Homo-oligomer: A and B are copies of this chain.
Amino acid sequence: MEPGYDLPAMIGMTEADVQTPALILDLDALEANIARMAAEARAMGVALRPHAKMHKSADIALMQIAAGAVGVCCQKVSEAEALVRAGVGDVLISNELRDGVKLARLARLAGRAQVAVCVDDAGGVAELAAAVAEAGTGVRVLVEVDVGAARCGVAPGAAAVPLAQAILAAPGLTFGGLQAYHGGAQHLRTEAERAGAIADVVGKVRQTLAALEAAGIAVPCVTGAGTGSFRHEGASGVYTEMQCGSYAFMDADYGRNLDAGGAWTSPFRNAMFMLAGVMSKTRPGHAVCDAGLKVMSMESGLPVSAREGVEYVGASDEHGTLADPGDVLRPGDRLRLIPGHCDPTVNLHDWYVGIRGGVVECLWPVTARGKHF
């Protein structure tokens, strides 16, 4: 027996029989990570809206919601459509949409689920209001504030006021509050650096809240935060919702974050691995596996081998070069790798292979794989 041509595994087979390269999930670790972050959010008294851009999986989104999450975030309207179609009922697109087709899709989607989106200029509010009027639906709208990412978003402070007023004035639009996320802060290596960056972020949020308050505008939600810094946002007193995503899987780059006492990442375990197969072993100290650039994103560094004594030292499109100083590898062997960056790695795959106790327990589609629009 073998899996069909584009399936990496069959339920009940052992990990050693999974077709490589394949994205595998340690289900025990995944469940523990989901429960842990839900508990952290509850303890801090903030809502959790995990970012589904990371896993792109309806199965995992529904697990997170079952554990207490209020919904999920997406980055793209097509991603949101795919998750809603699969049963997710509450989605925030933590991004701007500035295209008539995308806005029409968003407005229609709001007839099937609770939908929210971000804006950062007056034109965006007007285009969104027109699309929602055309569809006859309602959308919650957040003003994105640039709290340090230097990407999208209005400047902190008074610039948010006219946008909030425009949202409040538009039929079909509800003012949802502030989107305030600083991605770069997640990957600052020391706890002190992350604490400093988020203190700055919180200051910018407070400045914006003060301007809105002065204009008599109530702010129902401040949403942001990520896996690298969430305790700072959660304890800030200004954030009401957290968008952490990577905590469910973790990756090699997060594994390099540190806290004052050692590895910051200790609450979460690596749950996602690339299962690679050894395809060549022609000389001492050296081996080649079948997992390269097309199955793992390398922009945050090479993957880390989970097999003791073996190191992943070079990537090309379809090959990974391994240092194997003990010559422990043989052609056909499997090994687990921890990818450098989880989000763009997931985006390369159609299937998750869920493993428990060395046995394949489930195959889950990567629901929103390739949903780029």
Contact = CB atoms under 8 A, between A and B. Distances in A.
Contact of A297 (B99, B120, B277, B293): B293
A183 B316 contact: yes
Interface stretch (A24-32, A215-223, A278-286): A278-286
A342 to B, nearest CB: 10
A321 B150 CA distance: 9
A344 B151 contact: no
A2 interface: yes
Interface string A108-120: 0000000000001
A277 B99 contact: yes
A179 to B, nearest CB: 12
A124 interface: yes
A317 B53 contact: yes
A75 B373 contact: no
Contacts of A3: 101
Interface stretch (A60-68, A131-139, A152-160, A248-256): A152-160
A98 B277 CA distance: 8
A121 B53 contact: no
Given A104-B2, A280-B151, A344 B288 contact: no
Contact of A146 (B102, B281, B282): B282
Contacts of A297: 293, 297
User: By DSSP majority rule, is chain A's interface helix, strand, loop, or mixed?
Assistant: loop
Contacts of A283: 155
Given A279-B96, A280-B96, A331 B81 contact: no
A270 interface: no
Contacts of A286: 150
Given A98-B332, A105-B5, A294-B372, A152 B280 contact: yes
29 contacts: A2-B104, A2-B105, A3-B101, A6-B371, A8-B373, A19-B101, A19-B102, A20-B99, A76-B318, A96-B331, A98-B277, A98-B278, A121-B282, A121-B331, A124-B331, A150-B321, A151-B280, A153-B280, A153-B282, A293-B297, A293-B344, A294-B343, A294-B344, A294-B372, A317-B343, A348-B348, A348-B372, A349-B370, A350-B370
